[in-house]
Every structure is written in C-alpha cells, then in structure tokens.
Amino acid sequence: MKPLSPVSLKVNGDAYELSIPAWRTLLEVLREDLSLTGTKRSCQEGQCGACTVLLDGRAIYSCLFLAVEAQGKEILTIEGLARSAGALDPIQKAFVETGAVQCGFCTPGLIMAAKSFLDENPSPSEEEVRRATVGHLCRCTGYFQIIEAVLAAARERAGKGAPA
Amino acid sequence: MSVQACGDYAIIGKPVPKKDAWIKVTGEAKYADDLFLAGMLHGKLLRSPHPHAKISHIDTSRAEKLAGVRAVITGKDFPGVKYGNMPQTRDYLPLAIDKVRYIGDEVAAVAAIDEEIAEEALDLIRVEYEPLPAVFDAEEAMKPGAPQLHDHAANNMSAETAFQFGDVAKGFAESDYLQEDLFETQPIKQGMLEPHACIGQWDETGKITLWASKQSPYVVWKQLSMGLGIETSRIRVIQTYVGGGFSGGKQEAMPMDFCAVVLSKKCGRPVKFVHNMDEVLTIGHMRHPMKLWLRTGVKKDGTLLAQHLKIIADGGAYSSIGQLSMYLPGAMLNLPYRVQHVKYEAYRAYTNNGFCGALRGHTIPQVCFARDSQLDLIAEKLGLDPIDIRLKNGLRPGEVTPNGFRLGTFGFTECVEKAMEASGWKEKRGNLPRYRGIGMGCGSLVSGARVMGHSASTAQVNVHEDGTVALVTGSTDVGQGADTVLSMIAAEVLGVGLDDIRFALVDTDMTPADPGTFSSRVTFWTGNAVKIAAEDARRQLAEIAAEKLKAEIDDVVFRDRQVYVRNDPQRRLRFDELVRLAQHRLGKVIMGKGSYTSGEALIDFRTGYGNMSPAYTPSACVVEVEVDPQTGQVTVAGVWGAHDCGFPLNPMLVKGQVLGATVMGIGQALYENLIRVDGKVMNPSFRDYKMPLTEDMPKLANVGHVNVITNDPSGPFGAKEAGEGAAAGVIAAVANAVYNATGVRFRSLPFSPDKILFALKESGGKGGKAQVQSQSFT
C-alpha cells in the first residue's frame, strides 16, 4: 500500500486534516480529496496556468506543487474568491462583463493570477497585465477580452477602495 | 469594435454577458473531469509505439494480476465493427485488433482503482508487434509499392475529389498573365485546454450512459451504437460543460468512450477516462498538412479568369471526415472572388501519422492562405494595389458561383473597405519603416452546411407558470455562446428577460436529435429552430391573450414580461399571469416546438456541385507586422478585421469569436507546428507546441473589428456565421505583411524565425524595401 502522510491544509479559510501519499500534488488533493474542482487539470506540467491557486496571496501552479509543501499557508482557490467577497469578486465580475469567458476552462486560473497580480499592482498598465498573464493559455478568446477584464477589474477595485 | 444599432429589439443585438459566465468564473461549472461517481474506477489506454505494425499477440495476464486493477480489455472485446462519420469514412475501431497504423493508436485499456495503478498496469501488458514498413509522406504514400494502411483503400487513397466548372484551359488561354505557385501548410493542433474526458457506465439493465465533454453529442451517440453493435435506444450521452472544442476529437466517439462503457460492463462500476496532454497532442484530429499547387490566369486589369488548384493532403492513419475535408478547399475556391473557370483536384492520402480532420475553418484556411498570398503576387506583377485586385474580383450579393453556391447577402466589398479604413491602410502601405509591413487576406465561410444525412436542428420552448422558459435544443455550447444567443432569440420572441430562459445541456434521452456543433451552424440552424419554436409558443399564448384582452391575435404584443394590445397598451397582462391562465384555468401547458433545415440537397463531395449552405460570410483581415532582422522574429503589431455576420445578435460574443479565430490564425502563421519524425510527435507538450500567448498579441489600441451588417433574410434576426470565417484570411494577411516588411515571400507555414533569418540572409539581408529602393535608383 502507499505510505500515507498526515497533512494539514487551510483552504479558503477552512482547515482540513488529511492522510495522503506525500507525492500528491496540491492540484490532485484540491480536486480529488476536497472536491474543489474549480481548479482545473489541463497540462499538468506548469505550462497552461489552468490550475493556478494562491498560496499566501502568491499565484502558483498547483500541478507543480506538492500538497505537503502547502502546509502552514493560506490557500485560496476560485471557490474561495467569491465566498470571501460575499458576491462576485470584482475580477470575476469583470471577466463576466467583458466577455472574457468562453469555454471557461482557463478562467479560474486566470482570475486567480489576476487577483494575485492586482493585489501587488492595483493600477497596472496594459503591458503589465499582458506580462502578468503570459503564463496562461487561452485558446478561445485570443486574450484581448481577458486583458480588458483585468484592466476593468483594476479600475473597479480602485473606485471601491479595495482593501490592500 | 463598432457598436451597431439594435433596431427595435429588446434583447437581440445587445452586448450582454454569456449566460454561463457566472458559474464559470466561480468554478462551479462541471466539466467531465470534475465529475466523480460513487465507486468510480479510472481508465488508461495503451498506445502503439510503432507507426505501422501487425499485432500478433497481446498478453494482459500480468496487468490483470496487479493489485487494484479491475479489468483489461483489447480490441477483441468489441464486435470488430468499424465506425465513422460517413459510410465511406468508416475506418476506426475502438481498439486495434490486428494492426496499428500510427504512434498513438489505441491497443488496450485498463480500469483500476486509481490512475497511477492504471498507468502501472499499462506497462505490464505485453504486446507482440511485427513492425511493418511505414510511410509518412502523402506523395510517397500514393506511389505504387508504398506500404498500404487499409485494405479498402488502394494506393492509400483515403478521399479523392476532382471537379471542373467552366473550362480552365479556355480561361488560361484567354489570360494575359499566368501565376503558378506551390504552397505548403503544416499540421497544427486544436489546442483546447480541456483534455478529452468521459465517464462510462453500463448498468444492470444493459443501459449505457456516457457523461462526456462533447461538442457533437449525437454524433458520439450514433458512433457508439455503431462500434458497440448496440441500438441507440440503449445508449444515453450526457454532455458536460465543454472546455473548448475546435473539432479536436470532441465531435466524435473516441476510443476512451468505447473503453469506458465496456470496462464498466466488465467491472460493474462507472469508469472514468481523462487524457494526459501528451496524449491529446499526439493522437488524431489535427489540421491537414497540405501541398497546394495553384495556377491562376488573369487579365492585365487584374480580372481573375481561371484557377486550377491541386491539393495533396496528409490525412494520417484514419479518415475522420476526409471526403468533406477534400471537398471544401475546392468549393471555397469559388468564394469570395469571382472566377469563371475553376478546376480542382484533391487527394487525401493515408499515412502513418496522426490522423487529420476539422479545426476551426476545417480545410478552408489553407486554401485562403494559398489563394490570397498568390493574389498579392499577381497584384505586384500587374502593378495593382492589393486592395484593388480584391475589390475588382469580389463577389456581390445575389451572384451564383460556378459550383452552384447561391449568394444571398454577401458584404465582401464592405469588409475589404472597412478593414482598409480601420487599419489605416492608405497611410501605412508603402510608408512604413524598414522591416515593418502591412498585408491583407480575405476569406469566406458557410453558415452551417449539410454534410451528412441528418442536418435539421430542433428546439423546444417549454413555458413555465412562473413566466420562465426552459429552452431545450440538441446543440452544445463549447464556449462560443450558443447558450446565450439561442436564449436571446427565445427571449426576444416571447418578450421575456434573458435571465428567464434556462438553456439545457444535451442529454440524448431528453433533448431533440441534432447534428452537432460544426461548420458554424448553431446560431443559424438551431437559432432558426429556436425562433420557430418560440413563435409557436407565442402563438399559443397570443390566442389566449387575444380572447382575454378582447383583441386580434396579431395585435398582441409580447415585451418586457408583459403582454398587451398594440394600440392600447393599458389592456395588458403580465406574461406569467398569462401562462398561469393558460395552464391552470384552461389546462393548456405551453410548449412550442420548431425544426429548421436549409432544404438543400446533400452535395456529392466528389463531384462538388450544389449549394452547400443557406448563407455565406465573407471577411477581410489586415495585419501589420514588425520583423526583427537579427532574430527573425515576427511581431504582430496590429490586426484589423471586418466580417459580414449578417447581424451580430450579441456583439460582445461576436467580438470574442472573431478575435479568438484571428489569434488562432496568427498561431498557425507564426508559431505552431506539430513536429513529427518518422511518425513520432516530437513536441506533444504545451512547452514545445507553441500557441500564442498574451505577450504575442498587439496592443488593444491596435486591434479592431468591424461587423458588416447585411441582415440576412434567411438567418434568425438576420444573423449568419461568426465563429470561423474571420480566421480564414488571417494567415495570408500575415504572409502578405511579412512580404511587405521584408520583400521575402513565404509559401510554407509557419513563418518561423529560422525560415525568416535564412530567407533574409539569402536576399542579402537587405529586405524588400531596400531592394525596391535600390531598383528605383538604377
């Protein structure tokens, strides 16, 4: 049998005590053990960005990150984003309203990356948005509406005095 | 993006968000890999490591003994019936039986308690192969003595087409100038982010259920029936949310689908399959690589007289929908330019490469690349402006093409003019600095086509007592916005809100049969069906309202969730009140239904004559590039397009479709190439298979799209195709812009840095403008 390790994770504010093989990725544990399937499994080699979550506010590819390494950190997934805001986060809202969502498979990862980025850089230039999202593939949109959405979210957050 | 007038519509024409965007941004939308059924097992497929080999023996005993493995199957667990799209293309087996034909061909499948054990079990399956000589080049494959892939296809001829309309010999004889070129295109992948995924269940009663990420679930349903030898009534396909389609396999039944249900039968448990990305990028369904010989005869003034196109396509190991793939380039040679004499020959050869099929625009972008590249060559020879030669030859509304396409609306001239204006063509062309260039490419597409026996789409509009509506169709939203646009049509007709409409996902036990999502058909075909169905429901309600409001039926207006008398709006009912009146007092549950088909005859793809589609869309694209002479890198500095989608039912979604298609075209022009060496894919990873990224895109200020409004009378609220056509001309636009920047003409895709550097070196590193300037001095 596979050796199991006790792992404590804090995801979207909830604490979980798990027993898992130590080599399981954060992506696998989020999806398969915690049923948080909003984080998407695509290339599984850190190329597409679909599995992006936040670890203490920093965007990471959860497919390249072992769950055991995430212990002691605050993990935020797409499911936690709306919940913490009580409604759609301004980034989610902007993605909806600018047409940045087509098939939606890249969307959660991009929104999490945008969240991390805008928390660091609340009023970015278009060029900075482009650079911040370069680690994400989208085959549907051609990216333009995604870039527009991130810029619109930045404006919205600035207008509402989003918490630092 | 210009905003167009919406007329008197309440909902149609408004840039409203996609209906399912909310559950997609919250992560709630369930894609196939997000489903977990109780007791579910995990499946994996064993693939051939050989491009061509006989299978002499398969020993699965060691794999079966591995702890955690529940079942192992091979081709012998299926009835051995080949399946496929059309009678002449049925050459797939769920699992290979006696022979494998490409590296990646499925040979066996395992179900185990987790994915790791299933993977491990694959290593324990012993397959004895007798390697056969293989062929990887389409022309080699067609020669006598070449290794033969399929018994039914002599000389590896998978599909063959030849037709002539007019008399090209006469046309060439009457021409002042002949231009002949050879173009080559590369294999590219659909590149959708969601890998193929499914869960199959074979229950105690013998009922088969497949939950799967499918863009054409009814095709899957029929093919499962064929390959399993089981009647369709025992098969149920339930579509999940789809993470991108582009005909990358989700339009057909795949080996994983067959194996999931047959393994489920063996194990008594549901079985889930999800491809790894290296499988997705290795296996079949990719764009046909082609050689295209194009000869064009033209008058001095630029009038096109005759074109002869010959294509040899590498079809790979299987047919997919090859007969259609070969018909389309010749058919679309008739659009968007007027050419009196057209001759076409196409050969799709089987080879031991991954197999090819459709991909956004199918085989049309390849021919547009060749034809619109050549148009610029001709224009230069004749001293004509590239815009002028296009405008001179562009087809007009109402014309009939030599192959029998009957054009209704066709705003080609407007597309060219709008793209020219938006891009600042007149100011830029000839005035850009060295290594910067601008080029135009045009194309055309169908608004759906009848490609198989069943082409009709159907809709049901079920009106509920709270005034909401369940819209049931057989169409699938793959991200393109069908859920929203079809709902907008129903909402507009019934005068309710868009949020009042619920759009059903396909479930073959519940939803009406439908051909699927391809050929940019859904808005037009299913849209027309939805409009008819909603009008049917509205008529039923109007009869009741007319009685209640003491008005003529034709005077009853449905708008803003109200039903009122046209010239006396005070006489009114709320929409939900009217529904309850019908349902509770009169015992009439309101259900509207509607079907639509174009009524055109099925075209014989081998002879090519006939009207394929009820409506055609032209498009024009201008691309501005900057070429780095040190690195050979091409940067797209700007892209401006115009597209005649009839009427944009939702301009925000049209914009997303057009720009997404455009960027796919840029990807094929500059970056993408599935590299194969002796049939082995060398870059089956998003690390090495290079798709466009955000930083490759031009600034937002340098991106423009104009909708040319023609209000097609046969489309729902005037709409035509918007998903694929805009991509058709992009590759040629890039080719023409690179030529304009460097003076080097590329006839082979992609225009990668190595090719550019080599070509610049060959041309003395000076670039075209330098050469032109030096000529003008001598």
Contact at CB, A108 and B663, closer than 8 angstroms: no
Q: Which residues of A touch B26 (CB under 8 A)?
A: 38, 78-79, 81-82, 88, 92
Backbone angles phi, psi at B555, to 5 degrees: -90, 0
Chain B residue with the nearest C-alpha to that of A50? B193
Chain A residue with the nearest C-alpha to that of B276? A43
Give CA–CA dist A69/A53, Å, rounded.
14
**For B564-610, what is each residue's pLDDT tens digit?**
999 999 999 999 999 999 999 999 999 999 999 998 888 888 889 99
Q: At residue B3, does pLDDT exceed 50? A: no
Q: At residue B740, does pLDDT exceed 90? A: yes
Q: Shortest CB distance from A43 goes to which of B34, B277, B700?
A: B277
Q: Taking residues B295-317, report their average pLDDT.
A: 98
pTM, two decimals, is: 0.96
Secondary element (H or E) of residue B128: strand B126-131
Give CA–CA dist B673/B341, Å, rounded.
34
Give the strand pairing for B53-59 and B41-47.
unpaired
Q: Shortest CB distance from B699 goes to which of A77, A126, A145?
A: A126
Contact at CB, A137 and B655, closer than 8 angstroms: no
Contact at CB, A142 and B26, closer than 8 angstroms: no
Q: Which residues of B touch A126 (CB under 8 A)?
A: 699-700
Give CA–CA dist B30/B603, Å, rounded.
39
DSSP for B648-713 reads: -SSHHHHHHHHHHHHHHHHHHHHT----EETTEES--STTTS----GGGSPPGGGEEEEEEE---T
Chain A residue with the nearest C-alpha to that of B476? A103
Binning pLDDT at 50, 70 and 90, where does residue A51 land? very high
Please state which of the four CATH numbers 1.10.246.90, 3.40.50.1110, 2.40.30.10, 3.10.20.30 is assigned to the domain occupying A5-80: 3.10.20.30
8-state DSSP, A1: -
**For B595-651, what is each residue's pLDDT tens digit?**
999 988 888 888 899 999 999 999 999 999 999 999 999 999 999 999 999 999 999
Whole-number pLDDT of residue B210: 98
Please count the residue pairs, one from chain A and one from chain B, whose beta carbons lie less than 8 angstroms apart: 179
**For B367-401, what is each residue's pLDDT tens digit?**
999 999 999 999 999 999 999 999 999 999 999 99
**Strand residue runs (E) in B149-224:** 157-165, 177-185, 197-202, 208-212
Q: At residue B524, does pLDDT exceed 70? A: yes
**For B31-78, what is each residue's pLDDT tens digit?**
999 999 999 999 999 999 999 999 999 999 999 999 999 999 999 999
Whole-number pLDDT of residue B744: 95
Give CA–CA dist B399/B336, Å, rounded.
11
Give CA–CA dist B204/B470, Å, rounded.
32
Q: Shortest CB distance from A142 goes to which of B22, B276, B662?
A: B662
Instruction: Copy the structure tokens of residue B584.
Output: 């509770």
Contact at CB, B277 and A50, closer than 8 angstroms: no
Contact at CB, A139 and B190, closer than 8 angstroms: yes
**For B328-363, what is each residue's pLDDT tens digit?**
999 999 999 999 999 999 999 999 999 999 999 999
First to last CA, chain A: 47
Contact at CB, A99 and B653, closer than 8 angstroms: yes
Q: At residue B245, does pLDDT exceed 80? A: yes
Whole-number pLDDT of residue A160: 67
Contact at CB, A137 and B686, closer than 8 angstroms: yes
Residue with tokens 């590149």: B191
Q: Give B392-404 as a 3 state SS string.
A: HHECCCCCECCCC
Give the strand pairing for B290-298 and B69-74.
unpaired
Q: Which residues of B touch A138 (CB under 8 A)?
A: 193
Q: Taking residues B712-738, report their average pLDDT.
A: 95
Mutate to test the interface with B, among A33, A37, A105, A110 (most CBs of B within 10 A): A105
Q: Shortest CB distance from B21 goes to which of A31, A101, A139?
A: A101
Q: Could you give all domains of chain B from N- to C-terminal order, each with its CATH number?
A: 6-28+456-596 (3.30.365.10), 32-134+195-282 (3.90.1170.50), 395-447+613-778 (3.30.365.10)
A46: left (phi > 0), else alpha (psi -120 to 50), else beta? left
Whole-number pLDDT of residue A84: 60
Q: Where are the domains of chain A?
A: 5-80, 85-160
Binning pLDDT at 50, 70 and 90, where does residue B773 land? very low
Contact at CB, B18 and A111, closer than 8 angstroms: no
Chain B residue with the nearest C-alpha to that of A143? B694
CATH architecture of A85-160: Orthogonal Bundle (1.10)
Contact at CB, B21 and A133, closer than 8 angstroms: no
What are the distances in angstroms from CA B70 to CA B121, B126, B200? 10, 17, 15
Secondary element (H or E) of residue B238: strand B235-239
Min mean pLDDT across B1-15, B351-365, B558-572, B668-682 is at B1-15
What are the distances in angstroms from CA B423 to CA B230, B448, B638, B640? 56, 30, 8, 6
Whole-number pLDDT of residue B678: 97
Taking residue B4's Cβ as centre, other Cβ atoms within 10 Å add up to 16
**For B247-289, what is each residue's pLDDT tens digit?**
999 999 999 999 999 999 999 999 999 999 999 999 999 999 9
Mutate to test the interface with A, among B18, B22, B24 (most CBs of A within 10 A): B24
Q: Which residues of A touch B3 (CB under 8 A)?
A: none
How far does Cα B532 stand from its chain's mean position? Answer: 26
**For A12-26, what is each residue's pLDDT tens digit?**
999 999 999 999 999
How far does A39 lie from chain B, in Å, by closest CA? 7
Q: Taking residues A135-161, report their average pLDDT.
A: 94
Average pLDDT for chain B = 95
Contact at CB, A137 and B24, closer than 8 angstroms: no
Q: Shortest CB distance from B660 goes to which of A50, A88, A140?
A: A140
8-state DSSP, B357: B
Q: At residue B294, does pLDDT exceed 70? A: yes
Whole-number pLDDT of residue B768: 47
Q: Which residues of A touch B655 (CB under 8 A)?
A: 99, 145
B750 upstream amide cis, omega within 30 of 0 = yes
Share above pLDDT 90 across residues of chain B, in percent, rounded to a whole number: 93
First to last CA, chain B: 45
